[in-house]
Structure formats: structure tokens, C-alpha cells
Amino acid sequence: MPLEQRISELRRQLNEHSHLYYTLDAPVISDGEYDLLFQELLNLEALHPELVSPDSPSQRVGGAPLTSFAQVRHGIPMLSLENAFTTEDILAFAERILRFLNQSGPIAYVIEPKLDGLAVELVYQDGLLIEGSTRGDGLIGEEITAQIRTIPAIPLRLRKPLQGRLEIRGEVFMENEGLARLNEQQLLSGKPPFANPRNAAAGSLRQLDPAITARRPLRFFAYGVSSPEITGCTGQYQLLSLLADLGLPVNRLTRLCPTLGDVTAGFIELTDLRHSLPYEIDGMVIKVDSFALQERLGNKARAPRWAVACKFAAKQATTRLLAVDFQVGRTGAITPVAILEPVSVGGVMVSRATLHNQDELKRKDLRLGDTVLIQRAGDVIPEIVMAIAEKRDGSEVSIAMPSTCPVCSHPVIKPEGMAVTRCYNPHCPAQRLQRLIHFTSKAGLDIEGLGKKCMEQLFELGIVRDIPDIFSLQKEALEKLEGWGEKSAENALAAIEARKSPPLGRFLVALGIRFVGEITAGLLESHFQSLDKFIQAQRSQLMEIEGIGEQAAASILEFLADEQALEMLARLQELGVFPAATQPSENDLPLSGFVVVFTGGLAGLSRDEAKKRVKELGGQIAATVTQKTTHVIAGEKTGSKLKKAAELGKVILSEGEFLRLIKTPLP
Ligand code: IVH
């Protein structure tokens, strides 16, 4: 297949799979298969930069960082919505509409979930995405085109040819799972977690460096256009179906409601559904379906008359702030936790709430003895919304972050520009316990039976003080734990035994070294190949590894400079714990350094399979023969590539020789 055709075929396939995944929620290939196609496109485009087009899926990855955001004036203002909270409010909204229109018959409405994210406008010119902007104050927003392009759910080109300019509006948001993962990473790198999906979406989009946005799991739902009349649609429901046809994700819970009864029923249905959704919604938007009626109803100053946002009743309550506890995490981060007079919030008793960090304490100006408004959204940890200042009588006491660790009394430090205060004593008992809990947890070595409760007991009893103690546990000690017996003790010992040769990367993650998450640990494993080599790591070696930065390197070196850490590793080896490399070394894969070009058809396996094998074995694929090429694989009916290879004196392999090289037996 000619090169240009292959490139456009790859783009077509990649766009199709993105559409199936993000818009239709029905993927047909695995992530790995997608990555292979994507890599092939990247390779071909790298060899032929002149063939790169702005709507190629490869063009999502980032672009150069900006120094500031440009302003964008919205041709048609992006309005806000009025709120309704009860069924009565909904009825009043509908009555106002009938009165305004002087109409008595039923009016059809469209109901849509109200996403908790950030409103954006996407501009498509002749089908091509040319601009993205935030809502801003409704009139002027920020230009975030490069950031918007990184969101895989947003098509770079519409799926149907469409002349002229189309301004599409919708919500960028983050799914709960994506948010949880992001917050884990935030904590791991010493940054404060995002309090809710809206902050996370806004914080991710408003990044001057689009490469950061690209790493954030952002999604998108379209809910309208700036000027519906130009679409030829007569109503909102028809418009949403057009947007879906154009390839934009449209929320599947959208309904056309012929009567007001359908609207209120829909609200109750959505209220029930909301907690089973993978993303947060904070209500439902009701819109008059007909664009002709919308036009007649018009807008008030900031919101249209034809739409309203029905907010779900927030699960809130007031109570008293009795005390603030300071908890010390695995990496020494000190988190303030509010101790509250127990109160029922939406049917659940709440006596603690997270305060995230010191900045949050300050921002909310909380004082001991305050009456506070608390809320519980979905399954998230309850939080304090604000202190009710009117209820103060002067006896309230301001709250200070401790200057020493509440557990080990070591002085604590809040580094410049960081939100998190930390205890930097690596031997702090609180950190040691958290490290032990992490070591055996699912995120660590995943030792069945040794969950959080068990580790807490073992630590308190002084049976397990450090990681090696886990591997010298005796049956008698385990049997005596609360709720344990002979059988559970035996099972736990077997689980411990089974983890004595963990993959090196897993083991490094389990140690809980700051900034060493799964990815970094994987890089360390393939670079060092053994624990002994890792222990002797030098700064220069660490910095050589692509993907390991200053912070991680510094943290690893600090760990390796700690006598007690080294002693612990030595004791583990004495106890028969031998982490082993499971990933091939980056340098000794059989085809490392090979740059392979295929020419002519292969009989025994498909070209794609062959390429996949080469890549798996560490080789690179190129499309044309150049000086860099090391091997040319000649199948049947070869062409000019073979001639070129011969001219340049490259190694030419027959299919049989190639198969022997990749060790796939001949059919
Ligand atoms: S319609 C004039 N539809 O809610 C119509 N907005 O308070 C204005 N939102 O800024 C927007 N889901 O960020 C509309 N299905 C939906 C929505 C939605 C979320 C947000 C949007 C807007 C805010 C209005």
C-alpha cells in the first residue's frame, strides 16, 4: 500500500476507535492494539513530516507551552442557568414559560444531566477544530486550543463534511476514577489533591503546558451550539442527535419529554441513578425543546428563560468543630482532620471530615468551637464547606499547624511553594506504620491476610516494627490476633512465603520511596535488573534513565544513603527475600538497535504481526531504507526498497531468515 494511503488508513482507524471508545462507549480493540496503530502512525509521520496534517491523531500530544492565555471574545455570550431545587420550583419554571408564551398546551422539554465540570466552546471551521476556549465570564474566555486538542473524546475533524463555522458548547469533566488516580499522583508528588472533579477539570485545562493537560484523564460532553438556527435543526433533541452524528460525545441520559410529567419523573429517575454513574453530576438541566419557542422566550441578563438547572439537594448539615487531629501519612505528609460533634448527613453519621491541608484551613478560617456547615457528596469523604461566622461568641480558638510532628516530635517543614507540611524524619513511627501498611497492601506486595487492621495490631504489639519482621512472623503470634485462628495464620504465612521473590519493580513500589510509583519502578527494574545493582545506583546512572527526573532521583539517592534502609534490605536478603527482574533489560532485548524495513509480502505472518514482534523484541520499524536502516526483510514481490538496500549495503534477510531471527517457527 502506498505510504500516504497507509497513513490515511491509520488515521481513519484511530479516529474510528476513539469514536467507538469515547462517544459510543463500545470499544472493539484493546488499548494495546490501539497503541500499536498509534505507534505505527507516529513512526510513519516521523519519517515523513511533510505528510503530518493538523487533524492527525498524532497532533493531540501537546505542542509548545504557552507563557499566558490569550483572551477570546465569545461572539454569542455563554450564559449561565438559573437554579431550581424542588419539584415546586420546576412547576413554577414551567408555568412562567406558559404565561410568557400565553400558551396552555403542553410544551416538550429536553432533560440532560448537569455535569460538574467546566464549560467550553469549540470552534469548527469547515469541519476542522480550529479553536477552543473557556467560558470565562460568559463574554470573554481564555483561548485553550492546544489544551482542548489533547482531549481524546473531542474530534479534531467532524465525522461529516460541514461547511462554515460551527461553535459547539459543552462540558469538560473528569470521571471519578480518573480523578482518584490523579489525586493519588498529586499526593505522591507532594501536591495537594483536587477537592472535586470541577477543580480537577479546570486545573487540568488551564495548564499553560498542554503536555500536562494531555496526561490528565479529561472527557467531554457536548450540550449545545452558539447559534442553533444555522444547523437546520428545529429543536434541542434533534440538535443533540446531529452533534452525535458529527462525532461529538453526547450524554446518553438525555431524554425528550413530551410533557412536564415526564420531566419530573426524569428528575426522580436521575436522582436515583446519579451515584451509579462514573462521573459526578450536580443536577439536571431542563430546556424547552423547540428553538422557535426558545427564540420567543429569549434571555434575561445572565440566563435564558427557556432553561433551568435543577440542583440535587446537597446533603448538608451543621455541627460543631470539636478538635483538629493531625495525621501523618506514609511520606510524612501531615493532614489536618476535623473532629466533629457526630451528626447525620443524608442518613450517614459523620464525626470526621478532611481538611486537606494547611492552606485550606487558612482559607476557610476555621476555629475550634465553630459551628460549621458540612457536606457529603456521593461517596466522597465529608468536608467542611464553611464556618458559620454569625454563630461565633468569641470563645473560638484559632487553629495552628503543629511545628513538630504530632507522633515523633521531629520539627516539621512546609517547603516554599508547597501546600503540604511534612515530617521529614524517616524513622517516625507514624510513617513506619503507614509504610508497613503500604508494603503489604494491594498497591504494594499485596500479601493476602495482612490488611490494614492486621498491620496496625502487629505494629502496636511490637511484633512487626519494620518490613523484614513481616518475613519472620511466627504462626503463634498471628494466631493471637483479634479474630484470627490457626487456619488464617497458616494462610497468611503461605501468602508471605509466596511473595519472597517479587518482581523488582513491585518490590520498589512496595518500599514506598517518595516519587517511586509504578512507572518509575518499572524503569528502575529494566535499567538495574537486580536489587544489588539498584542499591549501588549513582546519580549519573539514575539521570540517564529516560523518564526519571530530578525529584525522583534525589528521593532514591536519599533512600539509598540511609543506613537503616540499607540494613533493612540486607536483612530482607538474609530472610530469603530476593526481588527479581521480570522485565527484559532495555539494552539486551534481542533486536535492540535494529532498524528494520519490510519490503514485499510475507507468507507466514501478516506485516502487522511481524512489525509487532520486531517492536516487542526491542527493534524499530522504518518505512523507507535510509542510512539508519540496519536490516531489510525481503518478502515476495519486492520493489525499489530492495534495490536501495543493496546500494547502501544493508543486511537483507529472507522471510525464513527473519522468522529464525524472531524465533517464530515456520508454518
Ligand atoms: S446549558 C444557556 N447544559 O452549567 C445554556 N449547561 O449554570 C447554558 N452545565 O456554564 C448552558 N451541564 O458549565 C447546559 N447539559 C448542560 C450542562 C450545563 C453542565 C453547566 C455549564 C454552564 C452551567 C450553567
Q: What gap in Å lies between CA 34 and CA 143, rounded to an integer?
A: 30
Angle between helices 452-460 and 429-440 (to 10 degrees): 140
| Ligand 1 atom 6: residue of nearest CA | 114
**3-state DSSP call for residue 351?**
strand
3-state SS assignment for residue 580 = strand
Burial (CB < 10 A; 0-12, 13-18, 19+), residue 639, is exposed
- 121 touches ligand 1 (CB under 6 Å): no
pLDDT, residue 257, reads 96
pLDDT at 666: 42
Q: Can you tell me the distance from the alpha carbon of 264 to that of 283, in angstroms, rounded to the nearest whole number?
A: 13
Average predicted confidence (pLDDT) for the chain? 89
Provide the pLDDT confidence category of residue 175 given band limits of 50, 70 and 90.
very high
The rounded radius of gyration (Å) of the Cα atoms in the chain is 30
Domain boundaries for CATH 2.40.50.140 within the chain: 316-411
Instruction: Locate CATH 1.10.150.20 in the chain.
Output: 429-574
Domain spanning 595-661, CATH class = alpha beta
Distance CA 365, CA 434 (A): 30
Q: How far apart, in whole angstroms, are the C-alpha atoms of residue 44 and residue 62?
A: 19
**226: which DSSP letter?**
S
Cβ neighbours, 10 Å, residue 411: 11
Cα distances (Å, whole numbers) of residue 195 to 360, 397, 607: 10, 25, 48
Q: Which three cell numbers stand for residue 272?
A: 436515583
Domain 3-60's class? mainly alpha
What are the φ and ψ backbone dihedral angles of 445, each rounded to 5 degrees?
-80, -5
3-state secondary structure of 160: coil
Q: Is the CB of 304 under 6 A from ligand 1?
A: yes
List the strands of the sheet with 595-599, edge to edge.
620-622, 595-599, 631-634, 651-654
pLDDT at 92: 93
Going by their DSSP bridges, the two strands 348-354 and 595-599 should be labelled as unpaired
The atom of ligand 1 lying closest to the CA of 117 is: 13
* Residue 524 contacts residue 481 (beta carbons within 8 Å): no
State in Å: Cα 276 to ligand 1 middle.
21
The Å distance, Cα 177 to ligand 1 centre, comes to 23
Top mutation candidate among 74, 78, 79, 81 for ligand 1, by most atoms within 8 Å of CB: 81
H helices of 80-227, in order, are 87-101, 145-149, 176-188, 197-205, 210-215
What number is the average pLDDT over the span 368-377?
A: 88
Write the residue with the smallest CA distance to atom 3 of ligand 1.
223
Measured between alpha carbons, how far is residue 454 from residues 215, 434, 442, 449, 575 in Å? 36, 12, 14, 8, 21
Over residues 471-521, the pLDDT tens digits come to 999 999 999 898 899 999 999 999 999 999 999 999 999 999 988 987 789
| Cβ–Cβ under 8 Å, residues 645 and 597 | yes
Question: Can you give the three-state secondary structure of 401-431, one letter per residue?
Answer: CCCECCCCCCEEECCCCCCCEEECCCCCHHH
**Which residues touch 360 (CB under 8 Å, ≥6 apart)?**
192, 195, 336
Looking at 1.10.10.10, 1.10.3720.10, 3.10.129.10, 1.10.150.20, the CATH number of the domain 429-574 comes to 1.10.150.20
Q: How far apart are CA 139 and CA 74, in angstroms?
A: 5
83-311 topology per CATH = D-amino Acid Aminotransferase; Chain A, domain 1 (3.30.470)
Helix axis angle for 87-101 and 260-273, nearest 10°, is 150
- Above 70 in pLDDT, residue 378? no
Which cell is 531 given? Answer: 536489587
Q: Which of 121, 285, 312 to mutate to test the pocket of ligand 1 (most atoms within 8 A of CB)?
A: 285
Q: Is 81 in the pocket of ligand 1 (CB under 6 A)?
A: yes
Q: For residues 213-235, give the mean pLDDT.
A: 95
- Which pLDDT tens digit goes with each residue over 414-470? 888 888 899 999 889 999 999 999 999 988 999 999 999 999 999 999 999 999 999
Distance 299 CA to ligand 1 centre (A): 14
Per CATH, which fold does 316-411 belong to?
OB fold (Dihydrolipoamide Acetyltransferase, E2P) (2.40.50)
Q: Where in the chain is the domain with CATH 3.30.470.30?
A: 83-311
309 Cβ below 6 A of ligand 1: yes
What is the maximum span of the chain, computed from C-alpha positions, in angstroms?
A: 91
Confidence of residue 112 (pLDDT cuts 50, 70, 90): very high
Cα–Cα distance list, 350 to 341, 344, 386 (Å):
8, 6, 16
DSSP labels, 516-573? --HHHHHHHHHHH-SHHHHHT--HHHHHHSTT--HHHHHHHHHHHT-HHHHHHHHHHH
**C-alpha cell of 662?**
524472531
Surface-to-core class of residue 120, CB atoms within 10 Å of its CB (0-12 exposed, 13-18 middle, 19+ buried): buried
Residue type, 403: S
pLDDT tens per residue, range 537-587: 999 999 887 778 888 999 999 999 999 999 999 999 999 999 988 866 666
Section 19-43 average pLDDT: 87
pLDDT of residue 54: 84
Statement: residue 593 has pLDDT above 80:
no
Strands 83-84 and 307-311: parallel
Cα–Cα distance for residue pair 272/268, rounded to 1 Å: 6
Q: Are 206 and 198 in contact (CB under 8 A)?
A: no
User: 74 in ligand 1 pocket by Cβ < 6 Å?
Assistant: no
What are the residue ranges of helices labelled H in 209-302? 210-215, 236-245, 260-273, 291-297
Stronger pLDDT, 361 or 147, i.e. the higher one: 147
Give pLDDT, residue 380. Answer: 60
Residue spans in the chain of domains classed CATH 3.40.50.10190 = 595-661
Among residues 142, 169, 301, 280, which one has the least CA distance to residue 228? 169
User: Does residue 307's CB lie within 6 angstroms of at least one atom of ligand 1?
Assistant: yes
- pLDDT value of position 346: 65
345-379 b/e with 16+ CB inside 10 Å = b? beeeebeebbbbbbebbeebebbbbbbbbbbbbee
